[in-house]
Every structure is written in C-alpha cells, then in structure tokens.
Amino acid sequence: MSIKIALVNPPFLKNYSRQSRSPCVAKSGTIYFSYYLAYAGCSLEHNKHTVKFLDAIVTESTTEDIVDELKEFNPQLIIIDTSTPSIISDILFASSLRTAYPNSYIVAVGTFPSKNTQEFFDLVTKHAPGSFNACLLGEYEESSSELANNLYNDSLSTIDGLAYIGESGKLIVNGSLRKTSKEYLDELPFVSEFYLKHLGEEGIKRHFYASITWPYIQILTSRGCPFKCSFCNIPSIGSYRIRSIDSVISELHFISKKLPFVKEIFIEDDTFPINKKRTIELCKRIVEEKINIRWSCNARVDTDLEALEWMKKAGCRLTCVGFESPAENALNGVIKKTNVEQQEGYMKMASKIGIKVNGCFIIGLHGDTRESIKETVQYSKKLMPNTAQFYPHMVYPGTGSFEWAESNNLLEHKDWSKWNTPEGFHNTPLSLNGLSSQDLLELADDARREFYTNPKYLIKMLAQSLTSFSEFQRMLIAGRSFFPLLFSYFIKKNK
C-alpha cells in the first residue's frame, strides 16, 4: 500500500544546519544539505511511496508556511528532523502539525532522540503532549520504509529501531540504533537525483560550504566510522559500511551529466579514505572512466600517501581534517588515536601533492588551559591549512565527551536550548581548569581572529583568489558572513 509522506527540516534560525555534526548557524555562512532526510526520501520512493520534501531552512519558510504547503498533500506520515539545540522548537513545530493534521503519524529523527530517547519523550510530554507518535533511532532509511509499509498493519512492534510510548505509558524501544545495511545502500536511488527532483537547481544553489567551491552537493559513499572519538555526534560511531564502487561511479556519472552546474561534490563520509584498497580502486575508476569532476572529503591525518596521490589524480581538491590539538593528553582524552607526527606529516603530504586542507581544532579538550589553547592556535598557524575551524568543545548528550563532562561536574547547565548562542552560533556548557564556558567561546573567537588575520595566511589567500575565480567566489560568499563577525571580534577585544 502506497502512502503519502512528508519529510520536513523544520523552521528555526536562518541558515541553521541541523545535519552538521555540530548543528548551528555557521559563522562562514555554510548551509548543509539535509542529506539523511533526503536518503530516507530515496528509500521511501524506492518503496513506491509518494514523498514531499520540505526544507524550511533552505526556503526560509515559517511553521504556517509548512502547514499551508501540506494542506493539499495531506500526509499520512510526517518525518521531522531534529537536533539538540533546536529540540524544543522542533517539538513545538510538531505540535503545530499535530493540530493541523490530527490523523497523521508524526515521527522524529536525529541524534538527540536516537541517543536520548527517554529524555526526548519526557520533553514531548512537558512541552507538547501527543505531538510526536514515535522516533526512529540511528540511520533510518530502512526503518522509515518499514514504518510506511506497515503503518496500518498493527505491526509496529516488529520495526527495529522504532521507539514510542505504549498504552501503559511506558517507553517501548524496538531493538537499538539502526545501521543501514551495505546491501541496502546499493539499492537506494542516488541522493543527487533526489536533490534535483525535490530542490531543483535553485534549491541546490541555496546551499553553501565555506571551504568548498560553489555550487556544491553532499553525497555519501559509506556509512559510519570505525573510530570512536568521544566528541563525535554521528549516528553510527564505531561501525563502517560501504557502497559498491560501481554504485558510486554511476552516481558520479549522473552528477556530471545531469547537474552540470555543480562545481564540487563534498563526499560527506565520516572518513572517506579509511579503506586504502577501496579508495585507490575507486579513484582509479574515476580516472579510467574520465569523470572530470572536482570533489572533496573528510579524512584523518593517518591517511596513506598512496591513497592521497590517487585521490589527487581523481579530482580531489580538499580534505577536511580533524587536527583538534597538538597536545598528546588532549588527543588521548578524546580517543583520537593520532599524534603530532602524523598531523605534520599529513600537511606535508597534502601540500606536496596539491590537496588543500580544511583544518579543525577544538578549544577546551582534556587538560586544556589558557596557555595550552594559545599553543593550539600557534600550531594552527604553523600548519597553515587552507581554511581553519575553531570549535569550543561541543559535548553533545549521548557522546563520550558528555559523559566525561557530566561525571566530572564540568557542565554549567543542561539546558539544550543553550547548546548554541541566541544567534545560533556554537556554544558550550563546559567549564574546566578555571576557564568558564564564556572563556572558551572567547578563546575560540580569538583563535579565529588570530588565524585569519595572519599576514602569511592573507598573502596565501590573495594568491589563490588571483589565480582561481572559483576560489575567489568561494571566499567572497563566505566573507559576507564571516568578515563582519571577524571585525566584531576586534571591536570586543579593544573595548
């Protein structure tokens, strides 16, 4: 039985990215694709259901706009994306849909309900009883289709990864966090095709990633990561499943032919080149089949040199890399399993090969002091990646970092709405070693200011902008959001 399903990324703050590993309004203007929601849409359409995909962040729609847009469609199932900082707003949004569509089955997805299921339903009971019927835990392509297929069969108890409140008023959880199987990943239609169908060229171009040339799209060629970094907020930490090389190559051909306006693909795999053999085989196929398309990906500093060389040959422009800190105790504290030698070696390899690097650093790791944070900033200037991100240590509920902070009484509060600032920027509830959460935010701002006003860095970026229009365009778009903030840091610092 085919049913009508609405997939909704609900309204919140302008340019808010729920899908980011650290959901926020990015200071660089970055707007993520709602790719997990889109992959669920691929699965539902594959199962012959009728899907309406509404991204209120991209279209800048209000709750009233979404309610009106769904009137004619009248969905039987509504799946709503959520995040930790927006969770109360997401629940109230679901309540509005419940009022408008009392017979719809409304489901939450996202890392917060997945990893804090009882807390999620407690918040529903407190703020908007009856707004959500259930939530889907972990990755939800398969479970969303199973739910749609069985919505009217009285067999919800058989759906693995579904959580709901039973007739007794107690939480019922079927199984645990769901992980989409390798076989099913290959069955799914291409997410790029879903973007084109539901967003169109205009909607795709509404997205932006500060270190990636624009327009871009995000796709996944694998799921999960075998590592277990304690700060990581992904749905499936400690697991790894891959799409076949044939499947990935077919999608790259599709993008090249059907989305010619896309200048770069961001392969959003948690750690794309983790499997050296697969990485080299895939890159060789890209070269052999003459797929002339630029792409970037997430990587670790322990990536193999041969893999990097083949990535460059196959069109890789940039890797997004988590350096986090040069301090060994800080890296060990978050189970990063990397070291300074690997970090510096990676930068040398990438520079020699010609792959740009977006470097990520965390302010407020285990053992961090004001002095060690200054050393991290100096280290970032030494490495000199193409772009750099400085995050306060984000301790999301359900992660090892949260458990560490909570057990050591380092949390100033547990108000989820304050996991971001009122503007939607990154925040942290963490305080440690005499540094308050506000201190950590200010130190992250200082790090950003010091890195991006470094004369050597400015000369490097000027040279790039003069030799590449796409790089100039990327900097210009990011600069609209970022440089006013950078200027504000100077004003605050000099008051």
pLDDT at 349: 97
Contact 76, 3 (CB under 8 A): yes
Could you count the other beta carbons within 10 Å of the beta carbon of residue 486?
Answer: 16
Residue 230 in 3-state DSSP? coil
CA atoms of 47 and 137, how far apart (whole Å): 20
CB-side exposure of 190: number of CA atoms within 13 Å?
Answer: 20
Measured CA to CA in angstroms, residue 147 lies from 5, 221, 449 at distances of: 11, 25, 48
CA atoms of 479 and 348, how far apart (whole Å): 27
CA nearest to 29, candidates 491, 467, 486, 444: 486
pLDDT at 464: 81
Cα dihedral 331, 332, 336, 341 in deg (nearest 10): 60
Measured CA to CA in angstroms, residue 473 lies from 126, 209, 266, 469 at distances of: 47, 12, 17, 6
Token code pair at residue 379: 């280290």
pLDDT at 440: 96
State the DSSP code for 190. Answer: P
CB-side exposure of 321: number of CA atoms within 13 Å?
Answer: 30
pLDDT at 481: 66
pLDDT at 492: 61
The backbone torsions φ and ψ at residue 294, rounded to the nearest 5 degrees and listed phi first, read -85, 140
Q: What is the bridge-based pairing of β-strands 162-165 and 171-173? A: antiparallel
| Total-model pTM | 0.94
CA atoms of 117 and 474, how far apart (whole Å): 39
Length of the chain: 495
215 cis-preceded (ω within 30 degrees of 0): yes
Measured CA to CA in angstroms, residue 19 lies from 84, 150, 410 at distances of: 11, 27, 27
Measured CA to CA in angstroms, residue 58 lies from 24, 143, 464 at distances of: 14, 26, 29
Beta strands across the sheet bearing 295-299: 216-219, 264-267, 295-299, 316-324, 356-363, 387-392
Token code pair at residue 407: 């057990």
User: CA-based Rg of the chain, rounded to a whole angstrom?
Assistant: 22
CA atoms of 225 and 231, how far apart (whole Å): 13
Question: pLDDT tens digits, the chain, 495 residues: what are they?
Answer: 899 999 999 999 999 999 999 999 998 889 999 999 999 999 999 999 999 999 999 999 999 999 999 999 999 999 999 999 999 999 999 999 999 999 999 999 999 999 999 999 999 999 999 999 999 999 999 999 999 999 998 788 889 999 999 888 899 999 888 999 889 999 999 999 999 999 999 999 999 998 999 999 999 999 999 999 999 988 777 789 999 999 999 999 999 999 999 999 999 999 999 999 999 999 999 999 999 999 999 999 999 999 999 999 999 999 999 999 999 999 999 999 999 999 999 999 999 999 999 999 999 999 999 999 999 999 999 999 999 999 999 999 999 999 999 999 999 999 999 999 999 999 999 999 999 999 999 999 999 999 999 888 888 888 887 888 878 788 777 766 666 766 665 556 655
CA nearest to 421, candidates 129, 11, 22: 22
pLDDT at 235: 79
pLDDT at 494: 57
Measured CA to CA in angstroms, residue 483 lies from 30, 389, 452, 461 at distances of: 14, 14, 10, 14
Contact 440, 363 (CB under 8 A): yes
